[in-house]
C-alpha cells in the first residue's frame, strides 16, 4: 500500500496513542471493578464477623447476669419471708425447719453471688473485646473508604487523560488518508496495527525477520508501506 513518509509517521504515532488509550481504558476498567480492594473487603468481612460474634457473646453474658440477679432476688425474698416466719412462730419444730431452710437459702445466695461476680468479670472482658473489635472495624472501614476514594480520584484523572488522548488521536486521524486508516484499523482490530522496523525486528510483535523477508522489505520504495511477515502489522522503516 502506498503511503507518504509523513503519513507513515502519523500512522506510527496513531498506533502508539492507540496502545496508550487501550492501557488507560484497561486501567479505568480495573479501578471501576474495584478488584484492587478485594483484600481490604475480605478483612472488612472478617472483622464484621468477629464483631457480630463478640456482640452475641456480650448479649448472652447480659442475659446470664439478668437470670442470676432474678434468682438472687427470689432467694432474698424467701429469706425475708422465712425470717418473718421465724420471728412469728413459737413452735420449736417449725422454727427448726425454718432455720434449716434459711441455712440452705444462705448457701444458695452465696453461690448466686459468686456466679454474679463471675458473670460480671466475664462481661467486663467481653465488653473490652467488643470495644477493641469495634475500633478495628472502624479502622478497616476507613481504610476501605479511603482506598475507594483514591480509586475514584484516579479514575477521574485517567478519564481526563483519555479525553486528551482522544483529541490527539482525532488530530492524527484527520491527517491520515481514509484508505490507509481503514486498513490500519482492520489490522489493529485483529492484533497489531503498525510497528517500526528496528534493526531486523518488528516493534509490534518483537519477532525477528528472516534475511530474505528483510531484504524484500528494505528494497521497497520509501512510499511503499511494508508489512511484518510475522504479525501482518504495517511496518514503518524510518
Q: Are residues 13 and 87 in the same domain?
A: no
In a domain, 193, yes or no: yes
Is residue 1 over pLDDT 90? no
Mean pLDDT, residues 65-90 taken together: 93
Pairwise CA distance, residues 228 & 56, whole Å: 68
Q: First CA to last CA across the chain, in angstroms?
A: 16
* Residue-level pLDDT at 112: 94
Task: List the single range of 82-86, 121-125, 129-133, 156-160 with lowest mean pLDDT.
Answer: 82-86
Which of 141, 174, 207 marks a domain boundary?
174
3-state helix, strand, coil in the chain (%, to 5): 80, 5, 15
In a domain, 29, yes or no: no
Q: Are residues 135 and 230 in the same domain?
A: no
Q: Are residues 113 and 77 in the same domain?
A: yes
Total tally of structural domains belonging to the chain? 2
What residues contact 211, with CB distance under 8 A and at least 6 apart? 200
Which of 174, 209, 226 marks a domain boundary?
174
Q: Are residues 85 and 203 in the same domain?
A: no
Pairwise CA distance, residues 132 & 151, whole Å: 29
Q: Are residues 135 and 186 in the same domain?
A: no
Which of 174, 189, 222 marks a domain boundary?
174
Is residue 18 over pLDDT 90? yes
| Count of alpha carbons within 13 angstroms of residue 144, beta-carbon side | 18
Is residue 134 over pLDDT 90? yes
* Residue-level pLDDT at 94: 87
The tens digit of pLDDT for each residue in 34-64 reads: 999 999 999 999 999 999 999 999 999 999 9
In a domain, 28, yes or no: no
Confidence of residue 90 (pLDDT cuts 50, 70, 90): confident
Is residue 6 over pLDDT 90? yes
Global pTM value:
0.70
Q: Are residues 169 and 195 in the same domain?
A: no
Is residue 17 over pLDDT 90? yes
- Residues of the domain holding 221: 5-23+177-236
- The proportion of the chain whose per-residue pLDDT surpasses 70, expressed as a percent, equals 100
Q: Are residues 98 and 83 in the same domain?
A: yes
Mean pLDDT, residues 202-222 taken together: 94
* Residue-level pLDDT at 42: 95
* Residue-level pLDDT at 50: 97
Pairwise CA distance, residues 89 & 73, whole Å: 24
Pairwise CA distance, residues 122 & 120, whole Å: 5
Confidence of residue 144 (pLDDT cuts 50, 70, 90): very high
Q: Are residues 114 and 220 in the same domain?
A: no
Q: Are residues 166 and 185 in the same domain?
A: no
Q: Are residues 150 and 201 in the same domain?
A: no
Q: Are residues 50 and 77 in the same domain?
A: yes
* CATH number for position 85: 1.10.287.1700
Query: Longest C-alpha distance within the chain, in Å?
Result: 134
Pairwise CA distance, residues 133 & 49, whole Å: 10
Mean pLDDT, residues 95-100 taken together: 92
Q: Are residues 93 and 123 in the same domain?
A: yes
Confidence of residue 66 (pLDDT cuts 50, 70, 90): very high
The tens digit of pLDDT for each residue in 180-193 reads: 999 999 999 998 89
Mean pLDDT, residues 106-112 taken together: 94
In a domain, 214, yes or no: yes
Amino acid at each position: 500500500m502506498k503511503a507518504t513518509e509523513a503519513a507513515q509517521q502519523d500512522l506510527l504515532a496513531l498506533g502508539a496513542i492507540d496502545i496508550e488509550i487501550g492501557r488507560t481504558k484497561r486501567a479505568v476498567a480495573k479501578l471501576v471493578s474495584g478488584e484492587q480492594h478485594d483484600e481490604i473487603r475480605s478483612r472488612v468481612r472478617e472483622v464484621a464477623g468477629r464483631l457480630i460474634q463478640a456482640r452475641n457473646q456480650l448479649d448472652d453474658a447480659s442475659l446470664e447476669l439478668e437470670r442470676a440477679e432474678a434468682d438472687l432476688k427470689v432467694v432474698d425474698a424467701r429469706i425475708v419471708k422465712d425470717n418473718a416466719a421465724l420471728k412469728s412462730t413459737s413452735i420449736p419444730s417449725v422454727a427448726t425447719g425454718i432455720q434449716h431452710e434459711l441455712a440452705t437459702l444462705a448457701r444458695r445466695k452465696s453461690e448466686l453471688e459468686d456466679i454474679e461476680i463471675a458473670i460480671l468479670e466475664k462481661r467486663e472482658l467481653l465488653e473490652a473485646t467488643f470495644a477493641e473489635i469495634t475500633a478495628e472495624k472502624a479502622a478497616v472501614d476507613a481504610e476501605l473508604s479511603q482506598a475507594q476514594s483514591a480509586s475514584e480520584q484516579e479514575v477521574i484523572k485517567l478519564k481526563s487523560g483519555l479525553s486528551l488522548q482522544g483529541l490527539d488521536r482525532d488530530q492524527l486521524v484527520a491527517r491520515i488518508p481514509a484508505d490507509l486508516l481503514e486498513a490500519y484499523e482492520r489490522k489493529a482490530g485483529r492484533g497489531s496495527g503498525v510497528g517500526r522496523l528496528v534493526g531486523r525486528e518488528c516493534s509490534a510483535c518483537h519477532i525477528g525477520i528472516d534475511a530474505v523477508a528483510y531484504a524484500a522489505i528494505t528494497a521497497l520504495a520509501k512510499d511503499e508501506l511494508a508489512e511484518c511477515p510475522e504479525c501482518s502489522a504495517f511496518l514503518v522503516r524510518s
